[in-house]
A and B are shown apart, each in its own frame.
Chain A
Amino acid sequence: QSVLTQPPSVSAAPGQKVTISCSGSSSNIGSNFLSWYQQLPGTAPKLLIYETNKRPSGIPDRFSASKSGTSATLGITGLQTGDEADYYCGTWDSSLSAVVFGGGTKLTVL
């Protein structure tokens, strides 16, 4: 059971927009920075977003993220078949004194 809650799967058509939610509590999302990762099949995770809404160099602006209270959202616009992957959110939990992740969301581009 993951500390952060993500929907198991989401889907959308090519060119469309999709959002992936990440829900937590005041001790994690509510008080700490969030990061998001994309994991293509058979590969290591790739950092998409850090410090809640910042994109590393090389990550296109089709990827964006935000946070409100104890929930966060990753948005992907202009969906491409290459975006099919598992997406994970992660943060620090101040009560657990631990790095925690969501269970992951599988994105299908129909």
Chain B
Amino acid sequence: QVQLQESGPGLVKPSQTLSLTCTVSGGSIRSGGYFWNWLRQRPGQGLEYIGYIYYTGSTYYSPSLRSLVTISVDTSKNQFSLRLNSVTAADTAVYYCARGGESHRLSWYYFDFWGPGALVTVTS
């Protein structure tokens, strides 16, 4: 059973960079076959997709966040990370990492294993 766990600071100041790491267990990012994703959920709101990374380092970012987001992978640690630049209060959210569907399938955009989520609050 694949398990994911987010970690990182729970408080970030406005204009600074939000950084989170997702540690994967029960499965190897390096083995390929799946996209590894970040999503977020603002308080009381719905789900918002941020982007994914493949074990090769190939990435996709949501157009709405593309200029601010970087997702990276460390296969030696079985981790992938999110960096969101120039945050504002609107970036306050629970951030989830999740495994996507099989990468060779056109239907890859579903998420079958999720971390419990990490609340990040942007405040001065």
| CB–CB A44/B107 < 8 A | no
Residues of B within 8 A of A103 (CB): 46
A32–B108 Cα distance when bound, in Å, is 11
**Interface residue SS majority, chain B:** loop
A50–B117 Cα distance when bound, in Å, is 21
Residues of A within 8 A of B (CB): 2, 32-33, 35, 37, 43-47, 50-51, 56, 88, 90-92, 96-104
| CB–CB A90/B110 < 8 A | yes
| CB–CB B111/A47 < 8 A | yes
Residues of A within 8 A of B49 (CB): 90, 98-101
| CB–CB B63/A96 < 8 A | yes
Known contacts being A88-B46, A100-B49, A104-B46, is A47 close to B110, with CB within 8 Å? yes
| CB–CB B116/A102 < 8 A | no
Write the chain B residue with the least CB distance to A99: B49
Write the chain A residue with the least CB distance to B100: A99
Q: Which of B85-124 contact A (CB under 8 A)?
A: 96, 101, 106-107, 109-112, 114-117
